[in-house]
Amino acid sequence: MQFRGDVFMLVLKVLTVCMAFGCACAVRAQTITSAFLLTDPQQTQTYTHVVNINGTDFLKLGKATDSIQIYLAPSDGVASLAGEIVSDTLIEGRFTAAADYQVKSVIVAPTGKPALSLVVPDVTCKPNDIQVQYEMTPYDQVKNLFGNGLAKNYHVIQVSIVNNCAKKIVVPLGGVRIVPEWHSGTKGKSTYQPGAPTIAPFGLDHVMSIYNTDRTLTGSRALIFNIMQGATTLGSAIQPFFGPGFTQGVAIFGGAFRNAALEVSKDMSSQQLKSLSSETFNASETIGSNGSSPIQKFIFIPRTDVKLPSNKLQRIDDIIKLTVTWFVGSDTTQTQNATPITNPAKPTTAIQ
């Protein structure tokens, strides 16, 4: 009996100490400490997303591999949601939803026990999540892809952006900044002088206008066929004053000869315009999350001489550095240095 009395007094002392110092003597409850969303952008599984719910004492809600009810918010587009107790510290949920789905809160609702919930902090993108590379496009490739007019007038740079963040990012065209290498020296009586330390690429509308002008007025193909058309029109007007041989010559020149020239010099306008509209960097580009939708787009900077009011000239020979500024929704902007894919060779100086 004395032993039982000693044990009772010991328990009483422990309770007294706990009450005095605020000890947590209650049984530890189940809690959720964090939740992480894993996405399979290639959708190689029957489910698109896995949500890992971390916490404590989950085995008091059921044994390992038991199913457990999970609710996610937002719930729009969420389907086939199945939860499972994996261990004492992990509950896993599998479900299908859009590839860019972002979970805001999770609720675990075990049968016959109080529900557990957690508001998931917003995902933020880190600079290392965004990979930016660039490469100078060779002149011949630009000529075939976009036509001789753009090849003569622009340095064309291919920019590749991969977003490994869990959120979409937006890159405005004005957020692409280029540090150019300005030409130096003289040409005739004019001297070359450097321009601004950084420049922005031209937009699609400006590039498209230069393309259209080259195809219809200033390009070599346009000049040849415009001259042929003008000569045919003039010949048709004056042929009544000449003999039938002249009339026949005008007919051949404006018909079979012109058609033969068109066969030799194929019109690639439709393909080039399609490439130009689909592969040029737009006013802003949205890059999908988790590396699912990287972009490869072309940007244009001038390569020809620009005559200034002071009678001096400017020309860009190469680019030294390219940076990209991006933002996530309403978050603050981030600036990313681009990595050259190769050491870009200086553009040929034979093209004036």
pLDDT digits (tens, 9 = 90+) for 184-235: 999 988 999 999 999 999 988 888 888 777 767 555 555 565 666 666 676 6
Which amino acid is present at 255? G
* pLDDT band per the 50, 70, 90 thresholds, residue 13: low
* Nearest C-alpha neighbor of 304 from the set 264, 272, 351: 351
Q: Which CATH number fits domain 125-203+280-352: 2.40.50, 1.10.357, 2.60.40, 2.40.160?
A: 2.60.40
pLDDT at 97 over 80: yes
* Nearest C-alpha neighbor of 290 from the set 68, 106, 102, 157: 102
Give the residue, 130 or 125, on which the prediction is more confident: 130
Separation CA 180–CA 301 (nearest Å): 9
Q: What is the DSSP letter of 166?
A: S
pLDDT at 15 over 50: no
Under 8 Å between Cβ of 108 and 115: yes
Provide Rg for the chain, Cα atoms. Answer: 35
Position 351 scores a pLDDT of: 42
Under 8 Å between Cβ of 172 and 284: yes
Under 8 Å between Cβ of 70 and 106: yes
Give the residue, 275 or 57, on which the prediction is more confident: 57
Residue 308 CB-density burial (10 A; 0-12 exposed, 13-18 middle, 19+ buried) = exposed
Give the architecture-level CATH label for domain 30-119: Sandwich (2.60)
* pLDDT band per the 50, 70, 90 thresholds, residue 257: low
* Nearest C-alpha neighbor of 168 from the set 103, 119, 121, 101: 101
The residue-averaged pLDDT of 28-37 equals 82
Position 32 scores a pLDDT of: 93
Separation CA 95–CA 84 (nearest Å): 12
Please spell the DSSP secondary structure of 256-305, one letter per residue: IIHHHHHHHS---HHHHHHHHHHHB--SEEEE-STTSS-EEEEEEEE-S-
323 CB contacts (<8 Å, ≥6 apart)?
176, 177, 335, 336, 337, 338
Under 8 Å between Cβ of 107 and 116: yes
Position 246 scores a pLDDT of: 60
Sheet containing 334-337: give its strands across. 176-182, 316-326, 334-337
Report phi then psi at 121, rounded to 5: -60, 150
Calculate the dihedral angle through the C-alpha atoms of 247, 251, 252, 253, rounding to the nearest 10 degrees: 100
pLDDT at 20 over 80: no
157 C-beta neighbours (distance < 10 Å), count:
22
Under 8 Å between Cβ of 293 and 300: no
The residue-averaged pLDDT of 145-168 equals 89
Bridging pattern class, strands 130-136 and 339-340? parallel
pLDDT at 134 over 90: yes
Report phi then psi at 272, rounded to 5: -70, -40
Position 12 scores a pLDDT of: 46
In percent, how much of the chain has pLDDT > 70?
A: 69
pLDDT at 279 over 80: yes
pLDDT at 337 over 70: yes
**Residue 206 vs residues 61, 197, 198, 203, 281: alpha-carbon distances, Å:** 64, 22, 19, 6, 12
Residue 144 CB-density burial (10 A; 0-12 exposed, 13-18 middle, 19+ buried) = middle
Position 346 scores a pLDDT of: 53
Arithmetic mean of pLDDT over the chain: 78
* Nearest C-alpha neighbor of 224 from the set 256, 269, 262: 262
